[in-house]
Structure 1
Amino acid sequence: MLNNIGLPGLLLIAVIVLVLFGKGKVSSLMGEVGKGITAFKKGVKDSAEELEKSSADAARDVTPPPSDKDKV
C-alpha cells in the first residue's frame, strides 16, 4: 500500500497536516524532532568514544601483576 504513494501523495499529506495543525505547531514539532536527532547523534558519539577509551585502557594494561615469587 505504501509503495505507491509517490510525490503527489506526500504533498497532499503535507498540506492536510499543515491545515489541521497550523504552521506554528508543525514548525515547533519539526524543531523538537531536530533536537531529538541531535541528542541521539551526540549520545551515539559519546558512547562510541567511551567504548574506544575503555578498550584502549584495557589494551594498555597487558602485563600481569607481580607475584610473591618475583620479590625474592
Structure 2
Amino acid sequence: MPIDKKTHILLSRSEVLDRYGIGNTTLYRWLSDGRFVEPIRFGPRCIRWKLQDLEAWEQQRQDAAE
C-alpha cells in the first residue's frame, strides 16, 4: 500500500500564519472559537498542524462558499 507523504507533513505556527496571511491573534481567536483545525501539541511550546488536516479544512470552507 503506498504511503501518502502528506499525512506526515507537519506545519509550524509560523508556517500556518504565512499560509493564511494571518497573525497570532487571529489564529488563536479561530482556535478558541472552534473555527480552525486543532493542532498537535508536542509540548508546552511546540505545536504543529497536519498539512492533510489543513487541506481538508480549506476544502470544507470552499465547499461551504459554493
Q: TM-score range by the shorter chain?
A: 0.3 to 0.5
Greater RCO between the two (CA within 8 Å, min separation 6)?
2
Rg larger in structure: 1
Q: Higher helix proportion, which one?
A: 1
> What's the TM-score, normalizing by structure 2?
0.33
Q: Higher strand proportion, which one?
A: 2
